[in-house]
Chain A
Amino acid sequence: MSSVATETAPQLVVDRLTKLFGDRLAVDEVSLDIDRGRILGLLGPNGAGKSTTMSMICGLVAPDSGSVTVGGERLDHSGRDVRRRIGLVPQEIALYPELTSRENVTFFGGLQGLSGRRLRERIDFVLDEVQLGPRAADAVATLSGGMKRRLNVAVALTHEPDLLVLDEPTVGVDPQSRLALLDAVRRAADRGAAVLLASHQMYEVEAVCDHVAVMDHGRVLRTGTVADLLHGIPSRAEVVVEGAEPAVGRSRSSVVEVESSAAAGKATVTLLSQDHAALVDELTRLLATFSEQGRRVLEIRKSEPSLEQLFFDLTGRTLRD
């Protein structure tokens, strides 16, 4: 089991969850845990098993084996109290279009056992939280896509869940709405919720998540803090020059790897190193060499270690669907 270390007991413990659909192994012994106040980003290509894992965590899909524990209580078919601890934001906008924003929040808050003054307070709070207070009386059908997304999250926050599960909550929203949404998620975590956030947006995972788990083919391939995961991934510089493949020889620095290739009258020299300064030195030397040789440099590309790079390294670049 991967550990997201904190001092307190994890709010969510997923232990070797496995799910088969027919002969297809959708989720293969996935183990995760999230502490109170922490956000775990779940990354993976389409079909990796993220949504199935989240469905099992929410009790929507029965696992073939393994267990889910929320706040120390094991989730099973009779676990109504456990389900009360969970707030789900489905990938789709799960709202009633004919009802107003307030009516939607009221309904789902009521289902979670809230009522009276407490319910009214929570409704006002979550609508303000996602900046929809002024549109509370408007039917959902009349809201913009971004507003619906925000309301989709607000509904899940109404009953102050201990575990907030968000499946790609920012799909199709503008940067302003995305910012508002992620701020609301961050604040929910700050108030003590454990958050599981599945997303394809690497930058938003980097920005908001404390920990990241990368899934593919139903398995968790890597997990840890963003810094942990990026540690060991080399910085990369590419120089494209005219003409045949140059004889660049070996790097002067032992910490910089040099590769070269040529095609269609252009040559590409790639430098890889975990030592940023050494990489810059080597790049400077290479450019000087090309200048002496009179070779025209067409392009210089440089990239720092990123989750996207890690993602591609772990899951490949082949299309999945």
Chain B
Amino acid sequence: MWWIVRKELRCLLGDVRASVILVALPVVFMAVIGLATSRVFDGASDMTTISVVVVDADASDLSERIVNAVTKRAEFAVRRFDGLADAERELAARGCDAVLVIGPEFSARVAELDPGDVLDTSSGPLAGGLEALDVEVRAQPSLRQTGAIVEGLAFGEVLRECAAHVARENRLTAWFLRNREEDGEVEEDGPPASAPSTASGPSLYQQIVPSYTVLFAFFIVTSMARSFLAERELHTLDRIRVSPLSVTSVLLGKTIPFVGISLFQCTLLLAIGGLLFGMSFGSAPHLLVPVLLSTSFAACGLGLLTAAWVRTDSQVSAYGTLVVLTMGAVSGCMVPREFLPATMQTVSLCVPHAWALEGFHEVLVSSTPRADVVLRCSLAQSAFGIGFLCLGFLLLSRRWSVTRTSGRQTEQTTAG
């Protein structure tokens, strides 16, 4: 088996095309995508803030508090307009992404709320969302998702301010709040426990480097499939099959080098991400090891399965690339996973890439990476890898087997 491992490594290391695909191309991609999308994704960039125009037609203390709360949010760059018409013109001229309109009936509708309505927003008056309080968000037609984000965040701020307001207006809750203040349990000026972080999100390359590392790690599928295909086309497979090696040894011998190459590729890409693009390795970089190992294992498992499936180089190019790119797109390798719809985020867990990304995200982005999350992601990937390997092994060993005593022989290539 180790003769095959050595031979594969010798052939792979001499294959310039494979090296370009596996290492050079992802680095170029990271750099290009980083430059091209930095204004969209980079947390430090102005483009990550949503430009919001606020029109306060209610002009009450409560509505003023709402405007102030929204203004403080890091996600928003807020400007105040006096008239709705001016705000609509600004929106039409694409001078802003969204308009938040606090209607003239806002404080009156809030006054009608009782604490129960605030506590239960699913069935009470607040089930209607912002509209129930005469608050409206209008967004650019092409920025519906942005509008939804503004609406969601604004609803949170409105709810927080209204809850406090309603609680103070209600006798029972007012008494309770007074007692708490006397006991010193509440810090008036301190940030609420549930206040969202105003820190900027993960840096651009914290997302791009692992995403493209995972995407290109799976491109080893095409190299692996081509390697098996080459053995068939060169007829060296016949010589190998005539040797005393078992099918298991042959398959292991051909797979192990690719796992090594994949590990090297992923490690190198992360290192380049750190050195070249300033990506941080997080507070627990050792947790990268299981993620890297399981990613390479899953990628090579898929490689073996693809090798068992394809018959021609065209099929490798078509199926291999299609499968890898589709899986990458579905899982969120090409855009941050947070940008995917919730359904897609769930569906994407059907591919190993998604688990790899979750694992990398936990290690590289989370301030306190959880080993159990990383382990879960790694185990899920390993399960994919084992499944792919077993299926590929079954298909190939069945095709190479000489135990059958009847039927067609699919591996037969020549006839005298």
Of A79-87, A231-239, A300-308, the segment with at least 4 beta carbons within 8 Å of chain B is: A79-87
CB-contact partner of A55 in B4, B401, B412, under 8 A: B412
Assess whether B412 is in contact with A52, with CB atoms less than 8 Å apart: yes
Assess whether B416 is in contact with A51, with CB atoms less than 8 Å apart: yes
Assess whether A49 is in contact with B416, with CB atoms less than 8 Å apart: yes
Assess whether A60 is in contact with B241, with CB atoms less than 8 Å apart: yes
Q: Which of B218-235 contact A (CB under 8 A)?
A: 234-235
Q: Which residues of A contact B142 (CB under 8 A)?
A: none
Task: Give the shortest distance, in Å, between A52 (CB) and chain B (any CB).
Answer: 6
Is A242 located at the chain interface by the 8 A CB criterion? no
Is A297 located at the chain interface by the 8 A CB criterion? no
Assess whether B236 is in contact with A96, with CB atoms less than 8 Å apart: yes
Is A125 located at the chain interface by the 8 A CB criterion? no
Is A72 located at the chain interface by the 8 A CB criterion? no
Assess whether A48 is in contact with B10, with CB atoms less than 8 Å apart: no
Assess whether A98 is in contact with B415, with CB atoms less than 8 Å apart: no
Q: Which residues of B contact A42 (CB under 8 A)?
A: 416
Assess whether B402 is in contact with A62, with CB atoms less than 8 Å apart: yes
Assess whether A91 is in contact with B414, with CB atoms less than 8 Å apart: yes
CB-contact partner of B241 in A59, A93, A99, A112, under 8 A: A59
Complexed CA–CA distance, A72 and B239 (Å): 22
Complexed CA–CA distance, A302 and B239 (Å): 45
Assess whether B409 is in contact with A21, with CB atoms less than 8 Å apart: yes
Residue of B nearest to A61 (CB): B409
Interface size on A, residues (CB 8 A): 55
The secondary structure that dominates the B interface is loop
Complexed CA–CA distance, A76 and B404 (Å): 10
Complexed CA–CA distance, A196 and B73 (Å): 84
Question: A81 and B244 in contact (CB under 8 A), knowing A59-B402, A62-B404?
Answer: yes
Q: Which residues of B contact A108 (CB under 8 A)?
A: 239, 243
Complexed CA–CA distance, A92 and B401 (Å): 21
Task: Give the shortest distance, in Å, between B327 (CB) and chain A (any CB).
Answer: 30
Assess whether A60 is in contact with B415, with CB atoms less than 8 Å apart: no
Assess whether B238 is in contact with A77, with CB atoms less than 8 Å apart: no
- A198-215 Cβ-contact flags toward B at 8 Å (1 or 0): 100000000000000001
Assess whether B408 is in contact with A111, with CB atoms less than 8 Å apart: no
Is A145 located at the chain interface by the 8 A CB criterion? no
Residue of A nearest to B2 (CB): A110
Complexed CA–CA distance, A83 and B236 (Å): 16
Is A26 located at the chain interface by the 8 A CB criterion? yes
Q: Which residues of A contact B244 (CB under 8 A)?
A: 80-81, 83-84, 111-113
Show 10 residue pairs from A and B whose CB-CB distance is below 8 angstroms, ordered by the A residue.
Answer: A21-B412, A42-B416, A59-B242, A64-B406, A77-B403, A88-B239, A94-B234, A95-B234, A98-B15, A111-B244
Nearest 8 interchain pairs by C-beta = A50-B416, A51-B416, A110-B3, A80-B244, A94-B235, A111-B243, A77-B403, A92-B235
